[in-house]
């Protein structure tokens, strides 16, 4: 452990707070989704892209009316061409046939909140999850 404070502490706290503020709506969107796995994966991908130290993310936040990620989540989830490479069928095949051990890597604050949707889905399906940060 370092004796020096984390220089990104405020950014991390702010981003996690923004994501937590949207958790109820995120859960609602997942609950009504036609495809629970795809929606959970999309949410996790959106979370992964939310690097609040990135000026482009902050620019998108400003375009969506300030310190809320609701607009970004809605915009990204509704994009028709969301995936660069879509491996959803392959992932479904890997997850079928009984419980699996899944490792989920979380590297952005705020992402962890959106990853909870995927974690909840996988646990409900009987899979064992290891979270790595």
Specify the pTM.
0.79
Instruction: Output the average pLDDT for the chain.
Output: 83
3-state secondary structure the chain: CCCCCCCCHHHHHHHHHHHHHCHHHHHHHHHCCCCHHHHHHHHHHHHHHCCCCCHHHHHHHHHCCCCCCHHHHHHHHHCCCCCCCCCHHHHHHHHCCCCCEEEEECCCCCHHHHHHHHHHHHHHCCCEEEEEC
How sure is the predictor about 1, in pLDDT bands with cuts at 50, 70 and 90? Answer: low
- pLDDT, residue 102, reads 96
Q: Provide, rounded to the nearest whole percent, the portion of the chain with pLDDT above 90.
A: 29
What is the DSSP-derived secondary structure letter of residue 103?
E
More reliable by pLDDT, 77 or 29: 29
Locus of tokens 């989830």: 77
Residue 90 CA to its chain's centroid (Å):
20
- pLDDT, residue 2, reads 65
- pLDDT, residue 64, reads 64
- pLDDT, residue 67, reads 57
34-64: pLDDT as tens digits = 999 998 998 888 887 777 677 787 787 777 6
- pLDDT, residue 36, reads 92
């Amino acid at each position: 452990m370092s004796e020096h404070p984390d220089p990104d502490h405020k950014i991390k706290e702010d981003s996690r707070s923004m994501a937590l503020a949207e958790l109820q709506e995120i859960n609602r969107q997942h609950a009504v989704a036609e495809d629970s796995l795809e929606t959970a994966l999309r949410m996790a991908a959106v979370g992964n892209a939310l690097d609040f130290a990135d000026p482009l993310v902050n620019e998108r936040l400003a375009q969506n009316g300030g310190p809320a990620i609701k607009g970004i989540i809605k915009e990204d989830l509704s994009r028709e061409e969301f995936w660069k490479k879509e491996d959803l069928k392959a992932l479904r095949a890997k997850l079928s046939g009984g419980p699996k051990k899944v490792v989920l890597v979380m590297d952005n604050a705020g992402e962890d909140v959106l990853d909870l949707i995927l974690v909840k889905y996988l646990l409900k399906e009987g899979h064992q999850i290891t979270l790595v940060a």
